[in-house]
Amino acid sequence: MMGGLTPEAEVLERSARRCCICYGLYGDLACKRGQIAHLDRNHQNNNVDNLAFLCLEHHDEYDTPTSQSKGWTIREAKRYRTMLYDKIEEMRQTPQSEMRVAVPQYRLPVFGQVLRQTRYGMNAIDRNTGQEYGVPAYPLLYKASFAFDVTNPNPLDMRILRFYVDVTKFIDADIVDVWWGDMGGGMRVREFGCEIEPKVGSYECVQISDGFDYIKLSSGEMEAFCINVNAIAEGVYWLRLGMEYSIGGQTKKIEMDNEIVEIGIFDPVFHKPVHTSELGGS
């Protein structure tokens, strides 16, 4: 024991109530609500080498067996604990005037798959290059809907401050034909509206309900959303979803570059959809 302290008290003293996994993974030195973990998962083994202070989230992950992902190992936990103890000791030996407060690194929000909700398809040709496009399509001035979900993987609440849609590319195209299909799915979501123009730019989303300041997601919590996009001109659009959020006092943006959605917009007055069988489809 260190200075007559019990093993539990020694762990609290050496860790300064900082989670060793938070520090080892993200350099997070924030004081946390947590518990003392038994690294060999034997609660009768109170040897100080078998104990570590973990935040509530990481303690729960450490003690919960899973068949879907690789859990934390004793070797990892002890390595992160050593790193933390060394850092705490270094900070205690450093004059206050020279100390620099570490900024916690929080994990990015997790986006679920974007679901395109449409029964139309469209063939179009670029008027400038002659390139052909076959894309999911929506009627002009109607809602082009994209449903998705967002999960907060952090131990702190996350505030979703706003959504926006970027038009990353636009093609002025001749529409060859529009057909009926079944390309979409449905789910219960919180809805937003966004109007886009036929040019590259960023367009704000507005929640279609009253009283919106932000959406708070607690640790591990998921909520589903739907962006209803209105386009004011025919053509082929490339859309990217963006989100601004705040966690731990830090405000950031994340854009779904891997989920750029390619869609067509047609005017049903001039392009009446036909059934796929009339186009030679099955």
Looking at the fold, whether 129 and 230 belong to one and the same domain comes out as yes
Mean pLDDT of the chain: 82
**Residue 195 belongs to domain with CATH number:** 2.70.50
* Residue 20, in any domain of the structure: yes
Structure token digits, residue 66: 């899973």
pLDDT digits (tens, 9 = 90+) for 16-75: 999 999 888 878 888 888 999 999 989 999 999 999 999 988 898 888 765 444 567 888
* Residue 2, in any domain of the structure: no
Range of the domain at 196: 110-279
Question: What stretches in the chain show pLDDT beneath 70?
Answer: 1-3, 65-71, 96-104, 116, 181-189, 209-213, 275-282
Considering the entire predicted model, what is its pTM?
A: 0.52
Where do we find the tokens 């260190």?
A: 2
How far is the C-alpha of 74 from the C-alpha of 49, rounded, in Å?
Answer: 11
Looking at the fold, whether 119 and 244 belong to one and the same domain comes out as yes
| Integer CA distances (angstroms), 209 to 117, 119, 206, 214, in order | 21, 26, 9, 12
Looking at the fold, whether 151 and 130 belong to one and the same domain comes out as yes
Instruction: State the total domains in the chain.
Output: 2
How far is the C-alpha of 162 from the C-alpha of 170, rounded, in Å?
Answer: 24
The answer to whether 227 and 146 have CB atoms below 8 angstroms apart is yes
Looking at the fold, whether 206 and 123 belong to one and the same domain comes out as yes
Burial of 213 (0-12, 13-18, 19+ CB in 10 A): exposed
